[in-house]
Amino acid sequence: MPSLRELQRAFSAGVFNELPAELAQHIRAGRFPGPQHFQIYRNNVCESLTNALKAVYPVVERLVGDGFFRYAADTFMRTHPLSSGNLHDFGDGFAEFLESFPPSQELVYLPDVARLEWAWHRSYHAADRAPLALKALAAIAPAQYADLKFMLHPSVQLVTSDYPVLRIWEVNQSAYAGDQSIDLGLGGVKLLVIRRQQVQIESLNEADYALLSACAAGATLAQAAEAALRIQSDYNLILALHRHASSGVFSDFSC
Amino acid sequence: MSTKPRSVLLSTVIGGLLTLVTQSAQTAGVVQCAEQERCYGVAKAGKNDCATVSSVCSGTAKQDSQKDAWMYVPKGTCMKIAGGSVTPPAAPAKSKN
Amino acid sequence: MSDKCVTPLPIPAHAGIGLRAEHYHEVIDTLPATAWLEVHSENYFGAGGAPLVYLEKARQHYPISLHGVGLSLGSSDELNLRHLQKLKALIERIEPGLVSEHLSWSSVDGRYLNDLLPLPYTEEALLHFTQRVQQAQEFLGRELLIENPSTYLQYTHSTIPEWEFLTEVANRCGCGILFDVNNLHVNATNHRFDALAYLHALPARKIREIHLAGFTVNRYTDGEILIDTHNARVADEVWALYRQAIEKFGAIPSLIEWDADLPPLPVLLDEARKADEILENAHAVIA
């Protein structure tokens, strides 16, 4: 008789690989032979993990179709064990998986589309936080300005791609009814994903992206400003910070 | 040496920001919504349900041997993406297949 | 925000419905006549955003029951304290009337299968499960309800009938029982045992909640099996079993559980009305 631990390990192995003989002999034949009873669990685990992945990556699914998505999901779930009892955590790393998944190598933009969808998903479940009120800056002594850091709102995700992934994303929304064709020659994008009431995706220019990604990486405001000015020497920092703060991109500052 | 111009820049920036905030106090702020719950739109379904899915998952029964050749070929809307389903445009960092 | 919860509300001995995302707006806008609502705890484990906003709005008008699907109490791993901490935070935020989990496991060696997997009903598993429930209850500082699961296989080395296993867990841990009538029907049919004998062996004083749901019959050339799909109305056989349960246990909070192919809200309310009619008879008998 297997211990509880032995049984559970054999069960897990049987779901993701082959049903081990030592487990098979402990499954009672009922309406069907034991292995067929076990098959119900194999199907259910596979199906529910696939559906969870589809729910996070609907655009990837539309791009590749149901059959291919299932094949990718099937491989992904075997190689990327979920370490949480919350299915909303499943799907982390799918973009990187697609990057090295041989059958999708020709769809060069696919990993970035997945990255955008994961960013959307994380933004949707991110913490609530009031946007930064800029007038609080009045309380800071000028001597502290050098250490000042702006923190991005918890729902903000930054995505960069060499491909027009926002256009790809928009065209593959179920409500989209316009021109379906996409020209990869449109080039790359820098994107801001943010949840105001709903999750929104916006294009950023290179300098804005440099500024915000520096803030995201923990840079001081001075360093972030320098990063933006390196991209665009006439970057209007005051207007840019005001615009981002007014649209809820920052939630806190520290110094 | 290098810190001086930076702090000068920052005091200008923060001074400018505070001026802007005072000027635009009426309009500043994130979009307000009269009926807040409406702003959330259609909520995504939670994925943690406790139903057993009754359908058969094509991948599990015999693993790789059961995979049909057609599954290796994407058959979705990616067919409509032109200009480089094979060759990445202007992406020197990525290796071509 | 003004969405602060009022004082904890107990779950009344009437019918409630499962609250799913597709019905958030309608429930909050129309406040349908249902005595209470139940949600799946893990769907609200996110740090913020729409799900919690809607749940807090619902909580302003209804008692809420939290039903967990991912704690994996039967796992031979250490109890997942991160998961438990999230559940505790949600309990503090929502102040639910009841908190429940399953007589099952779903992870091993830190890998989650996200399914309610069957335990062998052995002395070892009983001791283990009992300890885990006690540990979880201590951590949460409150009573848990444990639900009888639907199962699609039986182990040859199980020595304890499921009803006895569940009763022992409840007695040893001081936890309550969430009696899923549909699961009993599914199991009794699939494993060919007498559902009524099981029902009558359950300890009435431990039953705190009842679940009702629909199942699917999967037919194959060599036989058929019932699957607990939560995608249909409650079957006649399950209503019959439910009447027996209410007769024996008295009026117990009863939930219409529907997860897949979700129907319009009125269908759920209609199912809840049927349960309430049966509960009314029990209330009348007691009066």
Residue B7 pLDDT: 52
pLDDT (tens digit, 9 = 90+) per residue, C262-277? 999 999 999 999 999 9
Is the minimum CB–CB distance between C108 and chain A shorter than 8 Å?
A: yes
Which phi-psi region, left, alpha or beta, contains residue B90 (left: φ > 0; alpha: ψ -120 to 50)?
A: left
pLDDT (tens digit, 9 = 90+) per residue, C83-114? 999 999 999 999 999 999 999 999 999 999 99
Topology of C15-286 in CATH?
TIM Barrel (3.20.20)
Q: Locate the domains of chain C by residue range.
A: 15-286
Q: If you write DSSP's letter for every residue of A34-82 in order, what string do you get?
A: HHHHHHHHHHHHHHHHHHHHHHH-HHHHHHH-HHHHHHHHHHHHHHS-B
| Cα gap C111→A84, rounded to integer Å | 8
**Which of B60, B64, B72, B86 has the most A C-beta neighbours within 10 Å, making it the best mutation to test the interface with A?**
B60
pLDDT (tens digit, 9 = 90+) per residue, A6-28? 999 999 999 999 999 999 999 99
Q: Which residues of B touch C102 (CB under 8 A)?
A: 50
Give the burial class of C149: count Cβ atoms within 10 A of its Cβ; 0-12 exposed, 13-18 middle, 19 or more buried.
buried
Q: Which residues of C touch B40 (CB under 8 A)?
A: 50, 53-54
Longest distance between any two alpha carbons in chain A, whole Å: 78
- Nearest by CB to residue B37, choosing from C53, C218, C229, is C53
Structure tokens at A140: 């800071």
Q: Amino acid identity, residue A197? A: Q
Stated as kind and residue range, the H or E segment containing C243 is: helix C236-249
Structure tokens at C204: 């009435």
Q: What are the distances in angstroms from CA C161 to CA B79, C78, C154, C203?
A: 56, 26, 11, 14
pLDDT (tens digit, 9 = 90+) per residue, B2-58? 444 455 588 999 999 999 998 876 454 455 554 455 566 668 888 988 777 766 654
Please name the residue of chain A whose CA is at the shortest distance from the CA of residue C40.
A86
| Cα gap C246→A30, rounded to integer Å | 31
Going by DSSP bridges, is the β-strand pair C254-256/C207-212 parallel, antiparallel, or unpaired? parallel
Å between C268 CA and nearest CA of chain A: 24
Is the minimum CB–CB distance between C43 and chain A shorter than 8 Å?
A: yes
Is the minimum CB–CB distance between C156 and chain A shorter than 8 Å?
A: yes
Q: If you write DSSP's letter for every residue of C69-107 in order, what string do you get?
A: S---TT-SSPP-HHHHHHHHHHHHHH--SEEEEESSEEE
| Cα gap B25→B21, rounded to integer Å | 6
Is the minimum CB–CB distance between C115 and chain A shorter than 8 Å?
A: yes
Cβ within 8 Å, pair C155-A26: yes
- pLDDT-based confidence at B88, cuts 50/70/90? very low
The SS3 of residue C166 is: helix
Is the minimum CB–CB distance between A83 and chain C shorter than 8 Å?
A: yes
Structure tokens at C16: 């409630």
Q: Evaluate if residue C134 carries a pLDDT over 70.
A: yes
Q: Evaluate if residue C51 carries a pLDDT over 60.
A: yes
Residue C3 pLDDT: 45
Q: Which residues of C touch A126 (CB under 8 A)?
A: 46-49
Q: To 10 degrees, what angle do helices A4-16 and C123-140 make?
A: 90
Q: How many CB atoms lie within 10 A of CB B49?
A: 23
pLDDT (mean) for A84-101: 97
Q: Which residues of A touch C110 (CB under 8 A)?
A: 81, 83
Q: Evaluate if residue A120 carries a pLDDT over 90.
A: yes
More confident residue, C223 or B93: C223
Going by DSSP bridges, is the β-strand pair A189-195/A157-161 parallel, antiparallel, or unpaired? antiparallel
Contact predicate A61/A54, CB 8 Å: yes
Going by DSSP bridges, is the β-strand pair A189-195/A199-203 parallel, antiparallel, or unpaired? antiparallel
Q: Evaluate if residue B1 carries a pLDDT over 50.
A: no
Q: Locate the domains of chain A by residue range.
A: 1-107
Cβ within 8 Å, pair A185-B83: yes
Instruction: Give the number of C-alpha atoms closer than 13 A to the C-alpha of residue A192, restricted to the C-beta side.
Output: 25
More confident residue, C169 or B44: C169
ipTM score for this prediction: 0.95
Stated as kind and residue range, the H or E segment containing A203 is: strand A199-203
Cβ within 8 Å, pair B97-A162: no
